């Protein structure tokens, strides 16, 4: 485990995703979470074979490399390749249990965009996630987080676990829910795949080294968009 999470450092956060490809929405989510929650570190965990959705369009090795290029130079961002190395479907609950074992009682935070939070009930052993980590939910254009619009089980989680402030996550290892606002960015990996398949530019929607990697390896071209 990295030195950043030792002693009185802020919480360690986990950002999972398919990153197919990684884009500025992911990067600003991680960066704004780091500021809002005073995080010591954001661990980026690309999924190998995601259990909750269709297979990614490009190989895990390419998605891993694109994240590596995207986060290079940020001392708070760390790439975690365990789910990709695991080969088969990996569950977030397993990843958090692994990290919990490594950090002891240090606060752990699972970072989710609002769309991911709205689907949380379908995740494997989802209620156990709160025994292992806090969950911080970032706003995302097009996905409302108002209590009245939430399914009953998620509304109950909000009532019971809402943190008074993002800083409150430092006070316990796990168990609280902290919504936070981030700069609204309507970018998604689906949008980028569609643009690439149509031969359109994706420049400035993801870091230049990632765009160059996609170009060099001819990824996301000439395939039917899913």
Strands across the sheet with 108-113, in order? 77-79, 41-46, 12-17, 108-113, 134-138, 177-180
CB of 6 to ligand ATP, least distance (A): 27
CB of 167 to ligand ATP, least distance (A): 21
Q: Give the Cα separation of 41 and 19 in Å (integer).
A: 19
Minimum CB distance to ligand ATP smaller for 123 or for 217: 123
Q: Give the Cα separation of 22 and 29 in Å (integer).
A: 12
User: CB count, 10 Å around CB of 10?
Assistant: 20
CB of 112 to ligand ATP, least distance (A): 4
Minimum CB distance to ligand ATP smaller for 12 or for 29: 29
Minimum CB distance to ligand ATP smaller for 118 or for 174: 118
- Cβ-closest residue to ligand ATP? 113
With vertex at residue 99, the alpha carbon angle to CA 67 and CA 138, rounded to the nearest 5 degrees, is 55
With vertex at residue 113, the alpha carbon angle to CA 30 and CA 191, rounded to the nearest 5 degrees, is 95
Minimum CB distance to ligand ATP smaller for 95 or for 188: 188
C-alpha distances (whole Å) from 26 to each of 3, 32, 33 are 24, 10, 11
124 DSSP assignment: T
Interacting residues with ligand ATP (CB under 6 A): 17-20, 25-26, 29, 112-113, 115-116, 138, 140, 185, 187-190
CB of 176 to ligand ATP, least distance (A): 18
Residue 171 in 3-state DSSP? helix
CB of 23 to ligand ATP, least distance (A): 6
With vertex at residue 131, the alpha carbon angle to CA 10 and CA 47, rounded to the nearest 5 degrees, is 75
CB of 105 to ligand ATP, least distance (A): 25
Minimum CB distance to ligand ATP smaller for 58 or for 112: 112
Minimum CB distance to ligand ATP smaller for 26 or for 100: 26
């Amino acid at each position: 485990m990295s030195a950043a999470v030792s002693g009185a450092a802020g919480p360690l956060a986990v950002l999972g995703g398919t990153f197919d490809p990684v884009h500025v929405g992911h990067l600003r989510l991680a960066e704004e979470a780091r500021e809002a929650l005073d995080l010591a570190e954001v661990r980026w965990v690309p999924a190998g074979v995601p259990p909750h959705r269709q297979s990614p369009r490009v190989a895990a090795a390419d998605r891993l490399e694109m994240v590596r290029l995207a986060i290079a130079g940020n001392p708070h961002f760390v790439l975690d390749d365990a789910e990709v190395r695991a080969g088969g479907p990996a569950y977030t609950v397993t990843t958090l249990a692994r990290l919990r074992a490594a950090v002891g009682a240090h606060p752990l935070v699972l970072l989710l965009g609002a769309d991911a939070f709205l689907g949380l009930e379908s995740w494997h052993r989802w209620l156990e996630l709160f025994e292992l980590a806090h969950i911080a939910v970032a706003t995302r254009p097009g996905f409302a987080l108002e209590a009245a619009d939430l399914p009953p089980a998620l509304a109950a989680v909000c009532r019971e676990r809402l943190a008074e402030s993002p800083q409150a996550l430092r006070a316990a290892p796990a168990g609280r829910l902290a919504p936070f606002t981030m700069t609204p960015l309507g970018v998604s990996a689906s949008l980028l795949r569609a643009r690439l398949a149509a031969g359109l530019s994706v420049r400035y929607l993801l870091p230049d080294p990632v765009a160059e990697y996609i170009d060099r390896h001819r990824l996301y071209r000439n395939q039917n968009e899913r």
